[in-house]
Amino acid sequence: MRILSGIQPSGKLHIGNYFGMMRPALRLQEQGEAYLFIANYHALTSVADAEAMRQGTWDVALDFLACGLDPERTAFYRQSDLPEVHELTWLLSNVTPLGLLERCHSYKDKLAKGIAPNHGLLAYPVLMAADILIVQANVVPVGKDQKQHVEVTRDVANKFNHAYGETFTVPEPSIAEDVAVVPGLDGQKMSKSYGNTIEIFGDPKQARKRIMSIVTDSRTLEEPKDPETCNIFKLYKLFATPDQQAELAGRYRTGGMGYGTAKKELAEMFEAHFAPMRATRADLAANPDYVEEVLQAGAAKARILADETVQKARRAVGLE
């Protein structure tokens, strides 16, 4: 089974990214032939600063390696190191109905937010389809909000196969039901666009300060509290064992514990979890040649599949 996943380098990674995408992606190493790419072409739809793009791409590479990505088990590469993806995007564009792209939720959402439409925003799902199909992925893990993009890929692959003969593996989306929606400091979904994040490799003091600013209700120290509706507890559960969760939940319901105490315990959990990774990341940052070798090796592995796929598609449409 060949599995593909990708992430954009569009800002500092936070714990929503870690628990929502990074950790599930790292688990793929144990499930099949894993390919993971840094989607820097996709990020061009939102990142217009060249230096920010370079730094963001490098940060994602460091973050994933620090969090446990094994380059012996996962082909880890920059999207921009697979130029074949653009030729395939063009071949796929010619079987992709315009209406299909205009109906995509992400495109309509961006227009509703007042973002000026351009070809990159509209054609984003075709590039994503090329990312998936170029390595002939069987499975694509996605969140529920991104399932439509895989469905578009399936539609495009089927249209191409119908028009030119069996060329592409039609992928299946994999939606992990146990992946938590991580709340931000204000209770909304943690997102850079909301400014409610906790960076996983930011300054530890700043992370603690942000944890201590999590919004809560106005119940007093003495009052019993409901852990299941508390954003502090929802974040605590991501780090804690079942026994630790039960113990803290009991103190919530009994009363006599303020939210400040729960925040401090969450901050301790956060630091215990990420401090070793932070040290690993510092070592990796001091050895950029190794990180670059990992990315180049991953791209070389992916390009073997990419070349085979593009040649097959070229023959199918009559370019060879």
Dmax of the chain from CA atoms? 77
**Residue 153 one-letter amino acid:** T
Catalytic residue list contains 237: no
DSSP 185-234: TTSSBP-GGGT---BSSS-HHHHHHHHTT-------SSS---GGG-HHHH
Choosing from 110, 225, 237, 263, the catalytic residue is 110
What DSSP string runs through 2-50?
Answer: EEEEEE--SS--BHHHIIIIIHHHHHGGGTSEEEEEE-HHHHTTT---H
From 144, 147, 229, select the one nearest 178 (Cα to Cα).
Answer: 144
Six-digit token pair at 196? Answer: 């409610």
Query: Can you tell me the distance from the alpha carbon of 49 to that of 51, in angstroms, rounded to the nearest whole number?
Result: 6
Q: Which of 159, 189, 264, 312 is catalytic?
A: 189
DSSP 76: E
| CA dist., res. 80 & res. 154, Å (int) | 23
Pairing type for strands 139-141 and 74-78 reads: unpaired
| From 12, 147, 159, 192, active-site residue | 192
CA atoms 229, 234, 240, 241: torsion sign: positive
Separation CA 133–CA 118 (nearest Å): 24
Spatial distance between the Cα atoms of 197 and 190, rounded to a whole number of angstroms: 6
Any catalytic annotation for residue 192? yes
Report which DSSP code applies to 165: -
Active site residue 205: no
Structure-block tokens of residue 223: 């009052």
Q: Catalytic site residues?
A: 110, 189, 192
